[in-house]
Amino acid sequence: MTISRCEIVNSYWSTSDMNPTTSLTYLLTRDLEARSVGTSGRALLEKLEFYCFDLKVSRVLEFAQSLQSSDPSSRQMLEELLEWTAAQPSFQLVALVAMAPDLDQIARRLGRGHPSDDTISEVLAQATEALRWTEEFVEGERREFVLREVQSRTRSEQRRMARHNVPTCSLPDDFDRPSGVSTDEASLELDRAVQRRVITRWERELIEATRSGGINLRDFAASRAENYDTLHKRRASAERRLRSFFGVEVVK
């Protein structure tokens, strides 16, 4: 993700706290709610009315949430809003909240049900970038354009990151498996990787034993009379292949 995009993302999340279960809908809704109070909120309402939007509500957040509906009138008004997101940056957050359920669905799909902070950030950054070009499309095509761009470009970024194995944080040697992933699910994924010859059965046993929290790598090496450094390098190599395999294949 480029620095400019990171700045955009951070500006939207200025009033929200990230945690492993945070959704785009929660983040964007909370941010728009904070930005809609007081003078700035009234100014945004007046600007929307100036652009001839029939609000029928007293708060910007309520207007944005009303556009999440799939009924024809709401979709038409969302298309009209997307026409102005390039010329009026203050409309972008409103549009993002309106499309938040769809963006959440994309994030979950690309994150295999548990999107990481990186995936959520990339989805939001790509959506914000796409909002700069919606004015070039006719009514009825703008929402689909944004969602198509978000999925395609986020998927490409995931593949690029997996291919180059770019770490996002420093992990200890014996980092336990995240609680959001069940042991059975992880075992099935490892079995699939073995079947596709991404890793060997020995590497599967090594990863499952030392990443499940049951035993650390140093104790595992001692129990097998193996060299710790050799096992550490072999596990790291196998996990690089797994990241590349799942990073490319899962986000079809």
21 lies in a domain? yes
Question: Is the pLDDT confidence value at 155 over 80?
Answer: yes
pLDDT confidence band for 2 (50 / 70 / 90): very low
Residue 13, SS3 per DSSP: coil
Q: Convert the pLDDT of each residue in 173-198 to its tens digit.
A: 444 444 444 456 677 788 888 888 88
Interatomic CA distance for residues 69 and 75, integer angstroms:
7
- Name the residue among 86, 90, 92, 150 with its Cα closest to residue 124: 150
- Sign for the CA dihedral angle at 140, 146, 147, 153 comes to positive
Question: Is the pLDDT confidence value at 99 over 90?
Answer: yes
Task: State whether 202 and 99 are in the same domain.
Answer: no
Position 1 scores a pLDDT of 42
Give the total number of structural domains in the chain: 2
137 lies in a domain? yes
The beta-strand segments (E) located in 118-158 are none
- Name the residue among 147, 128, 133 with its Cα closest to residue 90: 128
Write out the residue range of the structural domain in which residue 40 sits.
3-164
Residue pair 88/94 in contact by the 8 Å Cβ criterion: no
Could you tell me how far CA 238 lies from the centroid of its own chain?
25
CATH number for 228:
1.10.10
Give the Cβ contact number of residue 252 at 10 Å.
Answer: 7
Question: Is the pLDDT confidence value at 103 over 60?
Answer: yes
27 lies in a domain? yes
User: Using the 8-state DSSP alphabet, how is residue 84 labeled?
Assistant: T
Position 3 scores a pLDDT of 40
Q: Convert the pLDDT of each residue in 7-27 to its tens digit.
A: 444 444 444 444 444 677 888
Residue 133, SS3 per DSSP: coil
For tokens 């198509």, the residue is 148
Q: Convert the pLDDT of each residue in 30-79 to its tens digit.
A: 888 888 777 877 888 788 878 777 777 778 888 888 888 888 988 998 99
Position 57 scores a pLDDT of 72
Which distant-in-sequence residues (6+ apart) come within 8 Å of 39 by Cβ? none
Interatomic CA distance for residues 166 and 45, integer angstroms:
43
Task: State whether 139 and 203 are in the same domain.
Answer: no
Task: State whether 245 and 127 are in the same domain.
Answer: no
Interatomic CA distance for residues 81 and 98, integer angstroms:
10
Q: Given 134, 164, 194, which residue is the final one in a domain? A: 164
Task: State whether 226 and 141 are in the same domain.
Answer: no
**Cα angle for residues 42, 44, 45 (degrees, 5° grid):** 65
